[in-house]
Structure 1
Amino acid sequence: MKAAGLALGLGLSAVLAGCGNSSSSDKSDPTVELAYVEWDTEVASTNVIAEVLKEEGIKVKTTSLDNAVMWEAVANNKADAMVAGWLPHTHGAQYDKYKDQVEDLGVNLKGAKIGLVVPDYMKVDSIEDLKDQAKKEITGIEPGAGIMGATEKALKDYKNLSDWKLKQSSSGAMTVALGQAIKKKEDIVITGWAPHWMFQKYDLKFLKDTKKVYGGEEQIHTFASKKLKEKSPDAYKILKNFNWTTDDIESVMLDIHDGTPPEQAAKTWIKENQTKVAEWTK
């Protein structure tokens, strides 16, 4: 979920100027513009659905925006759609603000969540099982991230964590530390979220959160502008049908993480999942 590096300085002017990767400069047919945030999840999902639309003969442009601007762009018909609406918690404020100006095309992925994550070999199953593992330290990410705030709350709400510490780092540094610990089969507790490529690469588990500090399950929704159905009925239909699993998206994310360009990773996944894609385009 965490941003791989948000595009800087982009606003609605970027949308109006037509930033993004257009499949064609021909203006005879409408170009469908997909807005997205440069989170690993959204890079994967946006590239996959963009490639599917292109294969169906639809012109596509993708535009990377800050999260708040992405919602505003779709609400104001400056972008046509996005497949990046995390509900009910992560994007709840944006949804409440723009829900009357956008069309919810439904859930495209279920089972998204955040929490404390450990390697499967650690003999703990819940946050309450933590005692003195990992030197009583939780490896976190960037300060200010929602999951960091939730973890600070967990340190207060769970009595067994009263003398634990939360270490600030970055998303990249956290995954490096995770890999190093697993290689040595050492204890490590991280702030984690799914979907994420690390669940494809390593055997990991979320610790049960009996106090619900990290909230419940999240769903990722597809949202469209009010004008998309009229502008491009075929794109509207495909976007409405778009849905896949955590395993699906994580496989694309891992491919991208391992160095494959996002568009190529998307094409490879599409080629290997023709039956599922056919359900979106029927």
Structure 2
Amino acid sequence: MKRIIVLLAIAAMIAVSAVPGFAGDKEVKLAYVEWDCSVATTNVAKAVLQERLGYEVEILPVAASAMWQAVASGDVDAMVSAWLPITHSDYYKRFDKDVENVGYNVKGAKLGWAVPTYVDVDSIADLNKYADKFDDEVIGIDPGAGIMRVSENALEEYNLDKFELIEGSGATMTAALKNAIKNKEWIIVTAWTPHWMFGKWDLKYLKDPKKVLGEEEHIDNIVRKDLKNDMPEVYNFLKNFKWKSAKQLQTVMAWNQEDGADRYENAVRFIKENKEQVDGWLSK
């Protein structure tokens, strides 16, 4: 109940501050979730809209459910963080009549549970045998994330009654992972690709023979109804906006992990270094 109240409060905050765009407006609102991939992609979208097209862009960090609600209600113009067809399937079914999916921005996305490569376990099905070595925990992220929902299902499907799924955030999850690797300890984390942690540490996904955590996905751009009529230039960009690969996205994500990094300045750096690609995003 507390979580529902918090989500409603977030949605209400967006509704109060947000005004849908109309023809001629030069203001754009984008919702996103504080996941590293979402942060990087949203800031690049913001940089293109501001630096190349001259819009004033506000980006709003919210929970996944509030993000979908905000686009569906028209309180924000778009998001670039829809994990489909599996992770956000419930949200898409609920709001598909009130939003428009204009295409993917990256393919090859994946959810799973990851462990350091020195951990001598390869499958989720074998975890109960080693529960004590993992302190009976799977380290998760924010409770509204799709990966937390499917992780709860995995605990049930694999009868992992010795384990508890620990709520937190992307930052607390990677901090726990960093500390465990430093001390050569066993740890399981909820993981996804693209993510910078796979470039920083030697990790492996645990096999998921029942495919409870899903298979390969894509991350899509979702816009509010009527954006095409109200803001055709913005709509055209979001329809064309695609990374060349998950690896390219992970490069920007890695920049954002450097000491003193500025997410927006890194996005500006990317669009300057990839002018031809950005020109393609802006073509008719």
Bucket of the pairwise TM-score, normalised by the shorter protein:
0.7 to 0.9
Using the TM superposition, name which of 260-269 and 93-102 deviates more: 93-102
Give a deviation string over 1:27-63, Cα, whole Å, max 9, x none. 9952242321232232221110111122322313224
Query: Cα offset for 1:123?
Result: 4.2
Counterpart of 2:3 in structure 1 is none
Task: Pick one of 113, 130, 133 that aligns with 1:132.
Answer: 130
Q: Percent identity?
A: 40
Counterpart of 2:266 in structure 1 is 265
Look up the equivalent residue of 2:46 and give its one-letter code. Answer: A
Q: TM-score, normalised by structure 2?
A: 0.79
Runs of 4+ in 1 over 4 A off after TM superposition: 6-9
Look up the equivalent residue of 1:54 and give its one-letter code. Answer: Q
- The count of corresponding residues between Structure 1 and Structure 2 is 268
- What is the alpha-carbon distance in structure 1 between the residues aligned to residue 54 and residue 43 of structure 2? 14
Give a deviation string over 1:144-179, Cα, whole Å, max 9, x none. 4543453344344336x55x4235252333322211
Do 2:87 and 2:147's aligned partners in 1 also have CA atoms closer than 8 Å? Answer: no
Look up the equivalent residue of 2:250 and give its one-letter code. Answer: E
Give a deviation string over 1:192-237, Cα, whole Å, max 9, x none. 2233221232122211201112122232111223322233332222
Structure 1 gaps of 5+ residues are: 1-5, 19-26
Structure 2 gaps of 5+ residues are: 1-6
Using the TM superposition, name which of 50-59 and 135-144 deviates more: 135-144
Going by fraction, where is helix more abundant, 1 or 2?
Answer: 2
Do 1:200 and 1:251's aligned partners in 2 also have CA atoms closer than 8 Å? Answer: no
Helix, strand or coil at the partner of 2:204: strand
- What is the alpha-carbon distance in structure 2 between the residues aligned to residue 77 and residue 166 of structure 1? 38
Counterpart of 2:163 in structure 1 is 165
- What is the alpha-carbon distance in structure 2 between the residues aligned to residue 106 and residue 232 of structure 1? 17
Do 2:241 and 2:281's aligned partners in 1 also have CA atoms closer than 8 Å? Answer: yes
Using the TM superposition, name which of 168-177 and 50-59 deviates more: 168-177
Task: Pick one of 3, 12, 17 that aligns with 1:14.
Answer: 17
- Do the aligned partners of residues 85 and 260 (structure 1) sit closer, same or farther apart at CA in structure 2, a change above 3 Å counting? same
Matches within 5 A, 1:190-269: 190-244=189-243, 245-258=245-258, 259-269=260-270
- Superposed CA RMSD in Å reads 3.1
Look up the equivalent residue of 1:278 and give its one-letter code. Answer: D
